[in-house]
């Protein structure tokens, strides 16, 4: 497969670190030093599906196609206001496509899982043009009175169109069940038959544990992919890594003995946008002319589950 179009959409509202100082015991310096974040874009009056549709339309236009040319839609999403229908279904309606549409939830690794499914769909000959969207609003999952959580996240949507191609593609996906570390529990409707305790509340994260696991698992995935494809770390033009924390990206760069010019970042102005962070960053690179035909890009993400996803894609647009 090859990526033939990219697009992104951000919410209009920008929340700088100073905003949190007004209602929490925190400060810009702590947030910047521990996370690299200076501001984030946060959903206010928009609906997530509007951002997802905007990113999709841009990706389809960039590919020189119309919505009618799309024959499968995969959307990576953790939460949005609908449990059903799926977000991919809402996107299909909003952009005027008429193909099948399905959501995947692999937390922050979801975009890479969705991209891999798109590759399978194309390889099997079941689709020619697949729209892969990642749309996330993690700011709706956290407690805004908890300084250790609400400062970390931002919202957004990124999309790519994938078509048949002969560019290099290698992927690696892993899942290890580890619920205690990171979870968000949804309370379902009560019934007269429910007798068990049903906890609910905002997202829980053991930050230190996630940090360690993220660095170790992403480094392991990256090494394995490089070995499998016979590449050296410096053969990769850009490492498009999940943007959870600048220190995680720096730790991986350090481990690979590469300078940060190989590691574009958007966490500083987007915050952690969950599975949207990788396609948001990819679109930024593509639109700023930084990607050249033949460049190799390594994408890698980790998230609740614990899930990890990584792939090497050759840019043949």
Catalytic residues: 108, 242, 272
Q: How far is the CB of 288 from ligand ACO (least distance, A)?
A: 24
Q: How far is the CB of 261 from ligand ACO (least distance, A)?
A: 23
CB-CB contact of 73 with 100 (8 Å):
yes
Among 1, 4, 75, 210, binds ligand ACO (CB under 6 A): 210
Q: How far is the CB of 136 from ligand ACO (least distance, A)?
A: 8
- Provide CB contacts within 8 A for 46, sequence distance 6+: 11, 12
Going residue by residue from 8 to 27, which x/- string records binding to ligand ACO, judged by CB under 6 A? ------------------x-
Among 95, 134, 159, 182, binds ligand ACO (CB under 6 A): 182
Going residue by residue from 25 to 64, which x/- string records binding to ligand ACO, judged by CB under 6 A? -x---xx--xx-----------------------------
Burial 296-317 (b: 16+ CB within 10 A, else e): bbbbbbbbbbbbbbbbbbbbeb
CB-CB contact of 287 with 6 (8 Å):
yes
Among 82, 144, 211, 255, binds ligand ACO (CB under 6 A): 211
Q: Does 208 bind ligand ACO (CB under 6 A)?
A: yes
Nearer to ligand ACO, 208 or 292 (CB): 208
Nearer to ligand ACO, 129 or 274 (CB): 274
Q: Does 144 bind ligand ACO (CB under 6 A)?
A: no
Q: Does 175 bind ligand ACO (CB under 6 A)?
A: no
User: Which of 238, 226, 237, 214 has the alpha carbon at shortest distance from 304?
Assistant: 214
* Residue ranges in 238-257 that form contacts with ligand ACO under rule CB under 6 A: 244-245, 248
Among 13, 32, 128, 147, binds ligand ACO (CB under 6 A): 147
Q: Does 274 bind ligand ACO (CB under 6 A)?
A: yes
Q: Give the binding site for ligand ACO (CB under 6 A).
A: 26, 30-31, 34-35, 108, 138, 147-148, 151, 182, 205, 207-208, 210-211, 214, 244-245, 248, 272, 274, 303-304
């Amino acid at each position: 497969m090859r990526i033939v179009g990219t697009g992104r959409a951000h919410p209009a509202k920008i929340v700088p670190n100073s905003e949190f100082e007004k209602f929490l015991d925190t400060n810009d310096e702590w947030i910047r030093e521990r996370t690299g974040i200076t501001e984030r874009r946060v959903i206010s009056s928009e609906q997530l599906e509007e951002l997802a549709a905007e990113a999709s339309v841009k990706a389809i236009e960039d590919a020189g196609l119309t919505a009618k040319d799309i024959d499968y839609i995969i959307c990576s999403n953790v939460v949005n206001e609908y449990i059903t229908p799926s977000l991919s279904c809402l996107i299909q309606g909003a952009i005027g496509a008429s193909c099948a549409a399905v959501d995947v939830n692999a937390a922050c690794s979801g975009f890479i899982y969705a991209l891999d499914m798109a590759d399978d769909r194309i390889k099997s000959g079941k689709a020619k043009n697949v729209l892969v969207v990642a749309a996330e609003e993690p700011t709706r999952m956290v407690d805004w009175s908890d300084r250790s959580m609400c400062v970390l996240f931002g919202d957004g949507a990124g999309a790519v169109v994938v078509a048949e191609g002969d560019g290099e593609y290698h992927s690696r996906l892993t899942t290890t069940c580890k619920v205690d570390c990171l979870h968000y529990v949804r309370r379902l409707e009560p019934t007269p038959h429910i007798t068990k305790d049903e906890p609910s509340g905002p997202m829980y994260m053991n930050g230190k544990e996630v940090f360690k696991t993220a660095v170790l698992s992403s480094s392991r995935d990256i090494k394995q992919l490089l070995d499998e494809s016979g590449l050296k770390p410096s053969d990769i033009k850009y490492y498009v890594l999940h943007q959870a924390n600048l220190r995680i990206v720096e730790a991986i760069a350090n481990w690979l003995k590469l300078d940060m010019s190989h590691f574009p970042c958007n966490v500083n102005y987007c915050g952690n946008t969950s599975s949207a962070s990788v396609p948001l960053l990819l679109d930024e690179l593509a639109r700023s002319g930084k990607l050249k035909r033949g460049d190799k890009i390594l994408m890698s993400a980790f998230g609740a589950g614990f899930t990890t996803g990584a792939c090497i894609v050759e840019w043949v647009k």
